Structures are given as C-alpha cells and as structure tokens.
Amino acid sequence: MAEKRIAVLASGRGTNLQSVIDGIKNGNINNAVLQLVVSDNERAYALERAMANGIEALWINPRTFKGSEDYNDAILEALRKRRIDLVVLAGYMKILSAAFVRAYRDAIINIHPSLIPSFCGSGYYGERVHREVLEYGVKVTGATVHFVDEGTDTGPIILQQAVEVLPEDTVDSLAKRVLRIEHILLPRAVDLYCRGCLRKEERRVIIEAN
C-alpha cells in the first residue's frame, strides 16, 4: 500500500499538529508522510513547528481573495499540486467550502474538544466549549475525531474518549485534560485511516483490523 500523503490545516499553536508529527516519527502512525502544513494565519506557531521538522509550511492569506470560495479553491489547488490523500484539521478556524468537502469526501478528519453531538456546531470552538460544559453541569465531556461533511461538526464519528468533569475544574484545567486526550485520539485516527482500517456504513464508522 502506497504511503498516504497528509496535509494539516491549522490556525494556531499546532499542538495537535505536533501530535501527528510525533506519531509519524515514533511509529504510532504508519503508512503516512506529512507533506504540507497550511495556515490562514501568518503568525500561527503551527507553521514554525512544520519548518522545524522539515515539512513544507504554507501561509495562504485569506485577505487576498474575493471570498471564502476563492480562498478554499486556492487551498485545494495547493493540495492537488502535492497529491494530498488526507486532510487533517488541527485547530483550523476557517469553514471549508462544499466544493472542498466534495473534492476530499471521506478524506478530511477533524478533532473537536467535546463528545459530539454535545457542545458542537457553529461557534463552538476554543474556550467556549469548555465554559459551556462547566455551565451546563455535565459530569462527562471528552474529545471526538470525525470525518468532515458539509455541516459543522456533523460528520461521521471515528473515535471518541470521555473525560470526567471534576467539581474543582476551571475552563483552563478542563481544556488541558481534554487536550491530552486529543493528542492521543488524533494520531490514532490518522493511523487507522492511513492503514485502511476505516469503513463507513452510512453514519457509522467501522474500525477493521489490518
């Protein structure tokens, strides 16, 4: 099986990107090469992480395009030029166009800091997720890796893991514990995809041994 060529889209610090980089280096992600990191943010530390690891880092400035469709088309062109097989969203703050999703149907995965379908959808990112978890008073939250479709956090779920919400939790303490789980789940999902271990049955994602 040919190695899967991966592109990561990131807007910020890139800690989930680092988990993918480390996963490939330590053998937890197999049959994969991280080819490209793209950001909409010139100052994103994710770009620094890419360059420090010999990975092509590309800033595509959304302000230079007429609208989001044109911007997404520019990213698509960059991915196609590099023959990318899998797109990983790791803290990417832009919405993908329907044309982008169609071009990479079932080949885009995202990590979200809650147990979807709770605390997800439009506007649910960053601290807001954890703040609303605490305000609602749920006892369990977690992280989810899912395929991306045309909706927001609505694609089929690949992996989930729960995190207990403690009575003394703050937004910061809860976010840190959930992030540790994200760093486990995302490399695992990438590995499963790249080894051909994922099969979809409508909304269900079946994990098969390979």
**183: annotated active-site residue:** no
Among 10, 98, 93, which Cα is nearest to 58's?
A: 10
Catalytic residue among 112, 130, 146, 183: 112
| Residue with tokens 């090469």, as numbered in its chain | 33
- The catalytic site residues sit at 112
